[in-house]
Amino acid sequence: MARRSRAQAPASPEAEAAQQVPPPVIQVRHLTKSYGHGDATVHALRGPDDPQTGQPLGVSLDIEQGDFVAVMGSSGSGKSTLMNILGCLDIPTKGRYLLDGTDVGHLDETQLSLVRNRKIGFIFQSFNLVPRTTALAQVELPLAYAGVRAAERRKRALAALALVGLSGRADHKPNQLSGGQQQRVAVARALVTAPAMLLADEPTGNLDSRSTEEVLTIIDGLNTTGRTVVLITHEDEVAEHAKRVIRLVDGQIISDVRQGPVVGPPPVLARQLAAQPAAALIGGRP
């Protein structure tokens, strides 16, 4: 006698949604960073203290794919230490860090260099452009290190420059560009490898107000297309663009505020888009 197959119950909407959610780009667990020994030990990154032992428990956090996170804090708060660890420029004293599923704590310096090149796009306050080198060649550099062939490098670098509005400046050198244009070259260089995360360290610190808005508008647009952005800043006006704001004091997170949903445009751009229909009605019909 043939057995009748049992119909499989359909998965619940919650279960289907859980299967579709990608894992966090950043998973940090109990990270600490200390310098010195004994009584001279300085805990640059410590997290809360264990109520029983008084020892640092470390910093833990997740950053989802497509999020835009601003990390804020005054000098000595630990934000630069956290940035260096997230950027694989330094290693924690204790704890675990997974970047795009890769446990970077077990990698040697050569492997860390590959992770930095392929998974992280860096944007620095000082631009870090090579003197007497064209914008096109600046953007091609990460691809050259990754072994991408010349024709493909040029194609991808030109596309990245177009994305930041610098198609007509490809053959210009840093001394022929304004500060805002130089930072846009740096943004193009950061995104040309299609990294898992853009890590921006005070990206508007050396810019005037107009160039600041131009660069933040580009970063807003990149995040809207799904790029994960982690931005280090001490300026509230810059942090307003982020979907989530984390504040550090004395090496620990004291607040973690969600300003906008992970999916969709960041807050400032969302408000601008929402205001467009109303603005179009001002003045009435012709």
Domains and CATH numbers, the chain: 65-88+110-273 (3.40.50.300)
Summarize pLDDT for 137-147 with one digit per residue, the tens. 999 999 998 89
pLDDT at 10: 57
- Pure H helices in 192-252: 209-224, 236-239
Sheet strand arrangement including 120-124: 120-124, 197-201, 229-233, 68-72, 244-249, 252-258
User: pLDDT tens digits, the chain, 286 residues: what are they?
Assistant: 445 444 455 555 555 544 566 789 999 999 999 988 877 788 899 999 989 988 899 999 999 999 999 999 988 899 999 999 999 999 899 999 999 988 998 888 899 988 998 899 999 989 999 999 999 999 999 999 889 999 999 999 999 999 999 999 999 999 999 999 999 999 999 999 999 999 999 999 999 999 999 999 999 999 999 999 999 999 999 999 999 999 999 999 999 999 999 999 999 999 988 887 654 444 444 4
Both structure tokens of 175? 């001394």
Say what percent of the chain tops pLDDT 90: 70
In the chain, what is the straight-line distance between the N-terminal and C-terminal CA atoms, in Å?
Answer: 80
**Global pTM?**
0.85
Summarize pLDDT for 234-251 with one digit per residue, the tens. 999 999 999 999 999 999
Question: In sequence order, which residues have a C-beta less than 8 Å from that of residue 251 and are 6 or more positions away?
Answer: 33, 43, 44, 45, 46, 47, 56, 59, 77, 78, 81
Closest CA to 188 of 216, 163, 223: 163
pLDDT at 277: 63
Q: Are 63 and 246 in contact (CB under 8 A)?
A: no
- Which amino acid, 28? V
Summarize pLDDT for 133-175 with one digit per residue, the tens. 999 999 999 999 889 999 999 999 999 999 999 999 999 999 9
